[in-house]
Amino acid sequence: MEKNFIHPAKIGKDDIRISHLQYVDDTIFLLEDKESNAVALRYMLNIFQLISGLAVNFSKSSLIGIEVEDTKIERMAAELRCKVGDCPFNYLGLKIGVGSNKVVNWSYLVDKVKKRVNGWTTRTLSLAGRITLVKSVLMVIPIYQLSFSCIPKQPLSLNSIFCKFLWGESANLGSIPWVKWNDLCTDFKDGGLGFKNLDWFNVALVSK
């Protein structure tokens, strides 16, 4: 960057230059859409491989363009010998490239919770068992997403799924919610069951 060998992307109104993000053995390069960047990146990664002995698997890597012509992305991907990726994409369990303010973009998370619930038989579980599963399994699934994104204003169906499972509803068996979900989210001393209020919990996680 200092020698203008590679040109990073500029982020935000202050044009902060960010060239890469790393987590364990995953790396994302954020570069301007210049074909010279593709050549320079390939050159640097080859040198890295020669020095360290660690090979970069280009066949498992993807090049994703944001507001860049498809033909240009294809040429740069050919230079890097990697795949052309699409946006949005999954990275570390999160959907990257979608707005978090729309319920539809949270549907994958709702489906994940539903899939877990569908694998359980409510008739073989006591109420105490269902309470434990809601707290220790179902309510844990969305925590990672809630740590990065704000829940959309339109309510999600997660609370509804939790509530129906708690009261023993299944595909062949209905249920009656004897107590309102918001009341169950209060503390034990106030007559609730101590479930997390996802809206408040989300605010706490994002604020942290």
pLDDT digits (tens, 9 = 90+) for 75-126: 999 998 999 988 888 777 777 777 777 777 788 888 889 988 888 877 788 8
pLDDT digits (tens, 9 = 90+) for 129-156: 999 999 999 999 988 888 888 888 766 7
| Residue 173 pLDDT > 70 | no
Residue partners of 95: CB distance under 8 A and separation at least 6? 88, 89, 105, 108
Other beta carbons within 10 angstroms of residue 151's beta carbon come to 21
CA distance 65 to 60: 17
pTM for the full model? 0.65
Residue with tokens 């034990």: 188
Q: Are residues 123 and 202 in the same domain?
A: yes
Task: Among 56, 87, 118, give the residue marking a domain's end.
Answer: 87
Which residue pairs, CB below 8 angstroms and at least 24 apart, start in 136-141?
138/113, 138/162, 138/165, 139/195, 139/196, 139/198, 141/109, 141/112, 141/113, 141/116
Task: Among 55, 87, 119, give the residue marking a domain's end.
Answer: 87
Question: Which helix or strand (DSSP H or E) is residue 23 part of?
Answer: strand 20-23
Q: Within a domain: residue 3? A: no
Task: Quickly list DSSP for 24-42.
Answer: TTEEEE-B-S-HHHHHHHH
Question: Which helix or strand (DSSP H or E) is residue 16 part of?
Answer: strand 16-18
Task: Report the pLDDT averaged over residues 54-58.
Answer: 86
**C-alpha distances in Å from residue 89, one per residue of 1, 25, 94, 122, 185:** 27, 18, 8, 35, 34
- Number of domains the chain is built from: 2
Q: Are residues 128 and 60 in the same domain?
A: no
CA distance 164 to 113: 12
What are 90's strand-pairing partners?
A: 95
Q: Within a domain: residue 2? A: no
